């Protein structure tokens, strides 16, 4: 029995104390009524990434649900802001400030209505492009210099269609299945970006 306790002590001593140096945030709205909506594909993507990294995003911190994980040698903070989409920057800004992480090491996974369902694109930086979640993050980081993985959810059926109704609408099953089929690509792109290989990620997924 004493040998078992000695083993546990050795394991505790070897606990990873690497500081968080990268943030990965999936955008969405909290609450069951927003599940499976176009605006919540960022939540779906980050949950899949967490599952593959062997963690659950369930710790309340920084106005978000969070978890820490390792991607290669990089310790990352996974985030699902609970501030609702339009105030996503509150949570992400708090976390970036706490860990002293610069904008270029904050990766955002979000929905993109200008792309067909399932299409993904990597961007190193850029404007909000009309996306209120990105607009909030830009305001709180005081920078547009953060990378994004854009996940296509489909265009509005007509210019007159209300944007809020569209992004808060449920994804049809065929669109949801198409997006789910790209989860491995999103995971791979995320890993590359966290490891400082954004050019590789863009070459593979932004052709």
Who's near 68: CB < 8 A, 6+ residues apart?
20, 55, 75, 76, 77, 78
To which residue do tokens 């593979």 refer?
204
- DSSP code, position 32: G
Q: Which 3 state secondary structure label does DSSP give 9?
A: helix
Given the residues 39, 63, 110, 140, the one annotated as active site: 39
Q: Which 3 state secondary structure label does DSSP give 56?
A: coil
Strand 22-26 with 106-112, pairing: parallel
The torsion region of residue 68 among left (phi > 0), alpha (psi -120 to 50) and beta comes to beta
Strand 59-61 with 22-26, pairing: unpaired
d(CA 201, CA 147): 11
Based on the residue annotation, tell me whether 39 is a catalytic residue of this protein. yes
Who's near 74: CB < 8 A, 6+ residues apart?
21, 22, 194, 195
Q: Sheet of 106-112: strands edge to edge?
A: 59-61, 64-71, 74-81, 22-26, 106-112, 148-152, 120-123
Active site members: 39
């Amino acid at each position: 029995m004493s040998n078992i306790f000695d083993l546990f002590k050795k394991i505790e001593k070897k606990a990873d104390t690497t500081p968080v140096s990268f943030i990965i945030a999936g955008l969405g709205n909290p609450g069951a009524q927003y599940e499976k909506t176009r605006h919540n594909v960022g939540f779906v993507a980050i949950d899949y990434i967490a599952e593959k990294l062997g963690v659950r995003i369930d710790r309340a911190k920084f106005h978000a649900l969070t978890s820490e994980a390792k991607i290669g040698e990089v310790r990352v903070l996974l985030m699902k802001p609970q501030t609702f989409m339009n105030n996503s920057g509150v949570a992400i800004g708090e976390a970036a400030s706490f860990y002293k992480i610069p904008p270029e090491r904050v990766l955002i996974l979000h929905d993109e209505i200008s792309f067909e369902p399932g299409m993904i694109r990597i961007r190193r930086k850029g404007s909000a492009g009309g996306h209120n979640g990105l607009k909030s993050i830009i305001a709180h980081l005081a920078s547009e210099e953060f990378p994004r993985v854009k996940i296509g959810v489909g265009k509005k059926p007509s210019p007159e269609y209300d944007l809020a109704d569209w992004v808060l609408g449920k994804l049809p099953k065929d669109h949801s299945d198409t997006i789910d089929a790209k989860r491995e690509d999103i995971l791979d792109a995320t890993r590359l970006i966290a490891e400082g290989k954004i050019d590789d990620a863009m070459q593979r997924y932004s052709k």
